[in-house]
């Protein structure tokens, strides 16, 4: 007889989450008090995850990041799973979390056993499951979704059929449905003098565009008092505050998590009394702040979207065939030596200010310098692997002469994301990051940026000139002014460029870092001109957001517009 997932909704729903922002201490107390209520749920999940005989051959695996906040988990993730079970009674519904840290906390603190994805897949194989449908509760098709797809790829030939359903925000219809759900949920706060702000997580993946699209949907739908921000990307809290001030009519702000679960980010980054929480910052700005600690998973209309995605996947019947990793991209053979290289991070919270690649005897290592001191050690792998690793396998920081944290790490490949877990000093938790070392920046550094030579035959005498430029990239709000000024000395050309913003603290050209040459007014830099009449890639680091953010741009210097400066 098929087992169904049991959820203690009746008890937990009796505990309201509204009515103001709780501190961290209050949250811990609430979590501790909820452990007793969790007992029956724990026993059910443990039983659900045991490898006993299984009467069904069809399973739906609901995959979530997870949360250690027991009260929130039951009424968000648990509610989604219950909605799925009711809609698909012919399937057994099972649970898996992707965060090994959360899994370990729950096992040690609450004796609650929840499978990670690999364990859930192995269990399904051992149970002889023939058809497996995987429904992630992720918000978008980002890094987490892609990592899940990679894990599933190794198991596609172990089932008669495997189907991977879509995350919450996939098609245009999903955005409309989510806008309707969240605005109906928050309608009681929309009194004309209250700004309703949703806090999303944010990601450095391209999928971060869902937040901008959701804001556009809200605005175009006439919900002019609704705003979307993120913790780790753009739009940031600074962007939200700027929008509130521009409106100029708000006295109050209501904060809600744009996350399935009201977990750590909602309780601490959004609603705690710490100085850097959204609640505290907005209070300092003069607003009366109310926090609503309710995850999206509590909203029946959101649950219905996940059910609809599952139904679409079942109706389509298209088997998941796995993902194929792109072949390693390497821009030519490198001789032994040390090169400046551009390194990209998947998170703005892990900002790499400088990277040097050393090639020796066919292997590569890199010394990376971070923009902050929030991480005490790294592990080359996932956070799940790091939590189980020995201390000697971790990479400790070394302070440079300026007190910055540096780490020497192995580099397995260029131009492909490399898993790197970072241990937070403040949270005492491992966080998954991905680093990508760009081979093209080595080429630029090795052949062009050091000497800054002219790469196109342009006869230019030594001197100073004005020159028109074409500028592309970014959101279009910031730009470099035209014309610029260039100075030619031999085969070396340097340009003085001025932004229309004071918020740029450095630029990167060919992997080399350039600092502003002024201290007041709009940011001014002296950078090498690598090429005329072709787009030259540069990076500008802006501090206009809550965290520094590197943005890619392209500048074209038009040689036929040069005029001598007298």
Each residue's pLDDT tens digit, 36-94: 333 333 333 434 444 444 457 999 999 999 999 998 999 999 999 999 999 999 999 99
Pick the catalytic residue from 138, 201, 265, 309: 201
* Among 442, 474, 508, residue at a domain's last position: 442
Q: Are residues 396 and 423 in the same domain?
A: yes
- Indicate if the pLDDT at residue 483 is higher than 90: yes
Q: Are residues 279 and 311 in the same domain?
A: no
Q: Are residues 530 and 542 in the same domain?
A: yes
Read off φ and ψ for residue 251, nearest 5 degrees.
Answer: -110, -25
- Indicate if the pLDDT at residue 523 is higher than 60: yes
- Who wins on pLDDT, 415 or 548? 415
Q: Are residues 438 and 542 in the same domain?
A: no
Q: How many CA atoms lie within 13 A of 398 on its CB side?
A: 8
Each residue's pLDDT tens digit, 217-233: 999 999 999 999 999 88
Q: Helices 100-110 and 24-48 sit at what angle, rounded to 10 degrees?
A: 90
Q: Are residues 370 and 222 in the same domain?
A: no
pLDDT of residue 348: 65
Q: Are residues 256 and 367 in the same domain?
A: no
How far is it, in rounded angstroms, from Cα 523 to Cα 404? 24
**Which band of pLDDT confidence, cut at 50, 70 and 90, is reported for residue 545?**
low
pLDDT of residue 36: 32
Lowest model confidence (mean pLDDT) among 37-41, 292-296, 443-447, 512-516? 37-41
Residue 193 placed within a domain: yes
Q: Which residues contact 115 (CB under 8 A, 6 or more apart)?
A: 49, 94, 95, 96, 97, 103, 123
Each residue's pLDDT tens digit, 186-202: 999 999 999 999 999 98
How far is it, in rounded angstroms, from Cα 190 to Cα 132? 43
- Give all strands of the β-sheet with 194-200 in edge-to-edge order: 226-230, 194-200, 252-257, 288-291
- Give CA angle at 530 (528, 535), nearest 5°: 115
Residue 328 placed within a domain: no
Q: Are residues 290 and 306 in the same domain?
A: no
- Indicate if the pLDDT at residue 115 is higher than 90: yes
Residue ranges making up the domain that contains 227: 172-295
Q: Tokens standing for 74?
A: 């039951």
Lowest model confidence (mean pLDDT) among 89-93, 329-333, 448-452? 448-452
pLDDT of residue 363: 85
Each residue's pLDDT tens digit, 416-436: 889 999 999 888 899 999 999
Residue 332 placed within a domain: no
* Among 442, 470, 505, residue at a domain's last position: 442
Would residue 201 show up in a list of annotated catalytic residues for this protein? yes
Q: Are residues 179 and 216 in the same domain?
A: yes
CATH number at residue 154: 3.40.50.1400
pLDDT of residue 547: 60
* Among 442, 471, 487, residue at a domain's last position: 442
Structural domains counted in the chain: 4
What 8-state DSSP symbol labels residue 221? T
pLDDT of residue 13: 34
How far is it, in rounded angstroms, from Cα 349 to Cα 352? 9
- Indicate if the pLDDT at residue 347 is higher than 90: no
Q: Are residues 264 and 371 in the same domain?
A: no
**Which band of pLDDT confidence, cut at 50, 70 and 90, is reported for residue 143?**
confident
pLDDT of residue 86: 97
Residue 33 placed within a domain: no
For the four alpha carbons of 84, 89, 90 and 96, in that order, the dihedral sign comes to positive
Cβ-based neighbour number of residue 51 at 10 Å: 10
% of the chain surpassing 90 pLDDT:
58
Q: Are residues 179 and 132 in the same domain?
A: no
- Indicate if the pLDDT at residue 153 is higher than 80: yes
Q: What is the DSSP string of 13-81?
A: HTS---SSPPPHHHHHHHHHHHHHHHHHHHHHHHHHTS----S-SEEEEEEE---S-HHHHHHTHHHHH
Structural contact between residues 408 and 456, judged by C-beta atoms closer than 8 angstroms:
no
Structural contact between residues 421 and 433, judged by C-beta atoms closer than 8 angstroms:
yes
How far is it, in rounded angstroms, from Cα 112 to Cα 39? 9
pLDDT of residue 45: 41
Structural contact between residues 23 and 272, judged by C-beta atoms closer than 8 angstroms:
yes
3-class secondary structure, 524: strand
Highest mean pLDDT: which of 146-160, 341-355, 431-445? 146-160
- Indicate if the pLDDT at residue 491 is higher than 90: no
Q: Would you say the pTM of this structure is higher than 0.85?
A: no
Averaged pLDDT score across all residues of the chain: 84
Parallel, antiparallel or unpaired: strands 418-424 and 375-379: antiparallel
CATH number at residue 415: 2.60.40.1850
- Indicate if the pLDDT at residue 326 is higher than 80: no
Q: Are residues 538 and 455 in the same domain?
A: yes
Q: Tokens standing for 283?
A: 């209070």
pLDDT of residue 146: 86
Q: Are residues 472 and 433 in the same domain?
A: no
C-alpha closest to that of 168 among 210, 132, 219, 203: 210
Q: Which residues contact 107 (CB under 8 A, 6 or more apart)?
A: 113, 114
**Which band of pLDDT confidence, cut at 50, 70 and 90, is reported for residue 501?**
confident
Q: Tokens standing for 213?
A: 């699209």
Residue 29 placed within a domain: no
Residue 3 placed within a domain: no
- Indicate if the pLDDT at residue 368 is higher than 90: yes
**Which band of pLDDT confidence, cut at 50, 70 and 90, is reported for residue 458?**
low
């Amino acid at each position: 007889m098929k087992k169904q997932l049991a959820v203690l909704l009746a008890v937990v729903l009796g505990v309201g989450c509204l009515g103001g922002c709780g501190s961290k201490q209050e949250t811990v107390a609430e979590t501790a008090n909820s452990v007793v209520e969790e007992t029956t749920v724990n026993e059910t999940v443990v039983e659900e995850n045991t490898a006993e005989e299984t009467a069904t051959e069809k399973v739906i695996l609901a995959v979530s990041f997870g949360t250690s906040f027991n009260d929130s988990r039951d009424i968000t993730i648990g509610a989604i799973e219950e909605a799925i079970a009711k809609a698909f009674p012919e399937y057994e519904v099972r649970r898996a979390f992707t965060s090994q840290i959360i899994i370990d906390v729950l096992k040690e603190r609450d004796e609650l056993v929840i499978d990670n994805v690999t364990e859930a897949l192995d269990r399904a194989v051992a149970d002889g499951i023939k058809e497996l449908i995987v429904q992630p509760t992720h918000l978008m098709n980002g890094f987490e979704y892609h990592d899940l797809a990679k894990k599933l790829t190794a198991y596609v030939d172990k089932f008669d059929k495997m189907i991977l359903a879509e995350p919450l925000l996939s098609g245009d219809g999903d955005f409309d449905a989510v806008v309707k759900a969240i605005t109906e949920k928050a309608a009681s706060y929309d009194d004309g003098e209250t700004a309703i702000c949703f806090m999303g997580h944010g990601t450095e993946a391209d999928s971060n565009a869902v937040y901008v699209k959701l804001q556009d949907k809200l605005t175009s739908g006439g919900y002019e008092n609704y705003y979307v921000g993120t913790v780790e990307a753009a739009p940031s809290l600074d962007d939200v505050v700027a929008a509130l001030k521009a409106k100029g009519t708000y006295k109050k702000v209501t904060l809600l998590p744009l996350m399935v679960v009201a977990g750590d980010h909602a309780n601490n980054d959004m609603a705690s009394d710490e100085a850097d929480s959204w609640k505290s910052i907005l209070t300092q700005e003069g607003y009366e702040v109310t926090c609503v600690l309710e995850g999206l998973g509590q909203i029946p209309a959101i649950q219905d979207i996940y059910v609809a995605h599952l139904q679409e996947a079942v109706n389509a019947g298209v088997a998941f065939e796995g993902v194929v990793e792109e072949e390693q991209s390497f821009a030519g053979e490198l001789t032994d030596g040390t090169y400046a290289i551009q390194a990209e991070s998947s998170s703005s919270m892990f900002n790499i200010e400088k990277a040097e690649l050393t090639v020796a005897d066919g292997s590569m290592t890199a010394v990376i310098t971070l923009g902050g001191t929030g991480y005490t050690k790294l592990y080359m792998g996932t956070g799940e692997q790091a939590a189980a690793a020995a201390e000697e396998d971790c990479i400790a920081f070394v302070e440079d002469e300026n007190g910055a944290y540096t780490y020497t790490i192995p580099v397995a490949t260029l131009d492909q994301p490399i898993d790197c877990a970072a241990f937070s000093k403040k949270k005492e938790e491992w966080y998954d990051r991905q680093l990508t070392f760009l081979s093209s920046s080595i080429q630029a550094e090795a052949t062009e940026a050091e000497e800054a030579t002219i790469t196109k035959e342009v006869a230019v005498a030594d001197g100073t000139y004005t020159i028109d430029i074409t500028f592309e990239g970014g959101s279009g709000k910031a730009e470099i002014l035209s014309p610029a000024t260039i100075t030619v000395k031999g085969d070396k050309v340097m340009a003085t460029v001025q932004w229309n913003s004071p918020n740029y603290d450095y630029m990167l050209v060919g992997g080399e870092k350039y600092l502003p040459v002024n201290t007041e007014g709009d940011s001014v830099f002296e950078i090498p001109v690598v090429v005329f009449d072709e787009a030259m890639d540069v990076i500008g680091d802006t501090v206009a957001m809550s965290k520094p953010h590197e943005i890619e741009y392209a500048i074209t210097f038009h040689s036929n517009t040069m005029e001598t400066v007298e």
